[in-house]
Structure 1
Amino acid sequence: MPRSKYVFWVIIVLLLFALTGCLKAGYKDLEPDEAKKLIDENPMLLIMDVREPYEYAEARIPGSHNIPMGEVEQQLPNIDKEQEILVVCETGSRSASIAQMLVSKGYKHVYNLKGGIANWPYELEK
């Protein structure tokens, strides 16, 4: 097969993987009901709230730990790469970027709360 045809098919296969989600970010977005189930079933789960302290003080998921977005990398030596981690923020945007960063650093069990605290229909601490 000529090289140009080979390159063409490699590109097609990669595009198909990307479109079907096989090349996904490496973390999993969870709807609130999925996240609640994960929290209830795994007492060792680290719920990492990456919002600023003033946001965290207003309302938070019970049992969560506030590690502001700008401080996450400094805290990584304290977090086991095998630890299951649910990352949360206000809307799911900041937490998605932190979830991607964690995966890029070798963390294997990373979840992002889709829609963030703003989409959380369950109990919040104040």
Structure 2
Amino acid sequence: MKKRLFSKFAYWLVAIFFVLSSCSNPQSVKNIDSDEFKKIIESSNAPLVLDVRTDMEVASGVIPDAMQIDYTDDNFEQKIAQLDKNKTVFVYCATGGRSAAAASVLAGNGFKHVYNLEGGIEAWKEKGFSVVKNNN
């Protein structure tokens, strides 16, 4: 129990660090609500929608056409390095904390247009927007 509690505490400290560090490059990451997130995705040509939740979390469903790369995976930066940095990236997690940290990492790795879904997929679902089973 203590180990799990410590792990969660350490995880959130890292997430907070990345969120705060994203303030150094505010132009690259835009935090937007679910209405705007959906609107911009729908108007984008071949958007890259990135779900940074764990395998267990994505089993409950994802935003349509999302690709999963688990932010907590040790190889997260190696995996995002394989993505097209010229594409606009729409990133989300469960409630917005991990995706904000992941968005900061994306911006720090040269992605110029990154949108973070405030409130995560929970806010998305609260609006009644569709969620599909992950086929990845």
TM-score interval, normalised by the smaller of the two chains: 0.7 to 0.9
Alpha-carbon distance change, 119 to 75 in structure 1, aligned in 2, over 3 angstroms? same
Deviations 1:10-44 (A, max 9, x none): xxxxxxxxxxx896373001110111011111141
Unmatched segments (≥5 aa) in structure 2: 1-22
Equivalent residue in structure 2 for 1:106, among 104, 110, 121: 110
SS of the residue corresponding to residue 87 of structure 1 reads strand
So what's the TM-score if we normalise by structure 2?
A: 0.72
1:42 corresponds in structure 2 to 44
Is 1:77 aligned with 2:81? Answer: yes
Question: How big is each residue's C-alpha offset from its partner over 1:24-67, in whole Å with a ceiling of 9 and x where there is no partner?
Answer: 37300111011101111114111100000111111210110111
Identity %: 38
Specify the SS of the correspondent of 2:131. coil
* Residue in 2 that maps onto 1:26: 28
Change (3 A) 1:104 1:77: closer
1:125 matched to 2:132? The reply is yes
> SS at 1:29's partner residue?
strand
In structure 2, what residue type is equivalent to 1:94? R
How big is the shift at 1:91? Answer: 0.3
- Structure 1 unpaired stretches of 5+: 1-20
Q: What SS class does the counterpart of residue 104 from structure 2 fall into?
A: helix
Aligned residue pairs, count = 106
Q: Once superposed, what is the RMSD of the aligned Cα atoms?
A: 1.8
CA change 1:23–1:58 in 2 (3 A) is: closer
Distance 1:88 1:43 in 2: 19
